[in-house]
Structure 1
Amino acid sequence: MTRILLIDSNPDDLKKMSRYLMEESYTVIPAGSSADALAYLQETDIHIILIDLDVKDPPWKELAIEFRKRYFQRPLQIILSAHEKRRLKDALEEGADDYIQKPVRKLEFQTRIKAAYIRLKSQMRLFEEREFFRQAVKQEEELASKILDRHLHLKQTLEVMETEKEELERSKAKLERIAKYDMLSGLLNRMSLFSIIDIEIDRALRTEDPLSGIMMDIDHFKPINDNYGHPVGDVVIKEIGRLLQETLRKYDHAGRYGGEEFFMVLPNTYKDQAFTIAERFRLSLMDCAIDTGDLELSVTASLGVAQYHSGESREAWIARADAAMYRAKQKGRNLTMME
């Protein structure tokens, strides 16, 4: 049964949305405040959360961050609601999955919730397939270790290695099929990026190889959208994605973290090497004139580099790269800073 948590300080809106959802046979948990919502979260699993932008103590953004922390290993859909459409569009860049504009209209509301349910099912399949891939790789590595430990004949070893190679190729092909990309930038979307990060962290812990990450934010991106329109901003995002794919190595990964922020995962790379790669991209972007059709734009970016520390969480690693990037912003932008 799909459980939906409604968080809205307006009792009339809360009652109306609850009624619409119960008509569709969802399990509805209404919360009139942020505190009530956090209390419910301690007691039951939630699949979809609808948050009104006007909730307080804590405000909606802190509330959404807390939900993401608690559900980082499980699929979750977060939908925002408010009367002002511009507030919703701006808030969507903070990591929500969709929004609903008030006053709520029954058909649109039920349709958007249905779409969220479909996305949730897709995320669940992705989690299951990622776990399958992880277990397959683990089994292959265990098998290879046993073979080497027993000192099998060279011919037998080569035959097993060939079989393992075929299995690994099939697993790799399966991973590529399930990978989901951001349609605008051509890079990994947020969910796929997190999956890749988890896989590379597991690999780094097993092999004790270095792993580094780069957080990148486009400088002054909001004025580009405000002054030239969102279609021009879309062209900038596309060009950033293209340039990243040209700059990074074939075994590196890049994804759109959210809005104008991007995160790069660099396996078997120390932070000094990552800094050199980040600088190469920054200088290439600075020298690149982006043709938007009606005009050419010069765009810069601020980047932060952080090397993964053994045992830390994905969130802690990303936060350190993010902090380094913000130091670059504070020092005047168009810079690369190391943790």
Structure 2
Amino acid sequence: MVEPSNDLQRHLQLLSAQFAERLAQELPELAGKAQLLRDANDQESQRQHLLSLRDQLHKLAGAAGTFGFVSLGQRTQALEQQAIRWLDALQQEQQGLHDFIADLQQLSQQQFQIELAQESTPATPKTAKSSSATHCIYILEDEPTIGENMRLTLSNFGYQAEHFTRIADLDAALQRQLPDALVIDVNLPGEAQTGLNYAAALQQRLDEPLPLLVITTQDDFTTQLEAVRAGAMGFFSKPVDIPQLENRLERCFAQQYGEPYRVLIVDDDRELASRYSLVLRSANMLVEALNDPADIFSHMRTFNPEVVLLDVNMPGCTGPELAQIIRLNDDWLRVPIIYLSAETDISRQMSALLKAGDDFVTKPISDNALVAAVFARAQRARLLSNALSRDSLTGLLKHADIKEQVAIELERALRGGSQASVVMLDIDHFKKVNDSYGHPAGDNVIRALANLLRQRLRRVDSLGRYGGEEFLAVLPECPPEQAQRIIDEIRQRFADLRFIVEGTEFAVTLSAGISCTDADISASELLERADRALYAAKESGRDRVCQAD
């Protein structure tokens, strides 16, 4: 397990020190409550004191182990279970209760040391990757023509691609700078080892494995199994359809470098919430911590979390009750809810999950386990959200959503005094592609254009599939002359792409129309102007970009 970074370790130690100060106050409080329990002379008074002790022990049992006080966590958890048993059977022998009180009073007199677990949040990999905004791809292909064609095509998509014919040359490049992904051929006749053997050994010696795509003339089960064991995230038979390969690269990067997952923590224990926040932020997640359950609505609306972590036992409103409140709102039905609690009773855990919730994690939880649990839930939640709100073929916004972006950017442009451009693009003679090469080939062309647009446009730009083979782009703070240059370059890059179907190679072009915001135009008129400009480009011979009059 990789050791945590020095900065993260210092912050974790600081939180543990703060928790130790809290213990110096809470443990004597437990002894005082134990004395009150000893002095109680009726069952109702005993019950109230036991309830108070149970709640405080429960909170300590969950937090102590997390902050490194392992023995204390185990002791308080055992005492919590005794408190629960005495609550269930106050009529039993009094000597047992006296022993429980003595254990509580002894607890406050003992010195507990921090016993930090070895497992912690992984640090940032030591080997540096490319710092460029453009993804860097290394290609190992012994046939120069194939490798160069792949390099040029990936460059057209906007990647920084480098081609190597020998393992020694690739090794030398890896010593200088790690790429963002590797594309490796299985068969390397001039080498002492196969591409897969080399890739497997390379991944083992890196601090963090690289996304790996494998190309080969062998598509049998054994080769694919070997590729998976080497960490392959894509497997392509020769001749390689490079737009399909690029689509897989895009998916890898979307998963690896996408927007940080948003996590909302609801826990009345401020120190514990602070620690969870620190650990998750160190794993590149956006985190908000909430100590008062009554503030849930504003945080859900403004922060829009992808995962909610809930403490089960909170004063005034329990975790399961808060989870049910969240589930009353249809907009939040897809948000996973993970309970975090020291509760070990399976029946109580199941009861909480049946009311509302998706997972139950028992405190104390290691940093790595916390990150893994949250990451897995957030990843699935985002995939589901994208499946519902985005076009399934391209991953771009659907028709209604991209139209809404036109209205939003028009309003923003008018308010800020800037210009925004709206671009409507259409694939030329797309029906001929479907008729000649089949609908799967047509889908591949659509995906390729979507990925090219995503690579070549800015993050602030909005992209959507307007319908069929038609796309819509909204470019804020972009006058029409600048939009013309950008879209025309994309047009040229798209025309340079080569698609392969059963050994047959073909190319496709696109046409585009551009309209621009002004003070006297509505969102619908913007779209109509862009559509008319697109029609003019089609009428003028296609494979061109026209601006609205």
TM-score (norm 1): 0.47
Q: If you compute each CA radius of gyration, which structure gives the higher value, 1 or 2? A: 2
Structure 2-normalised TM-score? Answer: 0.30
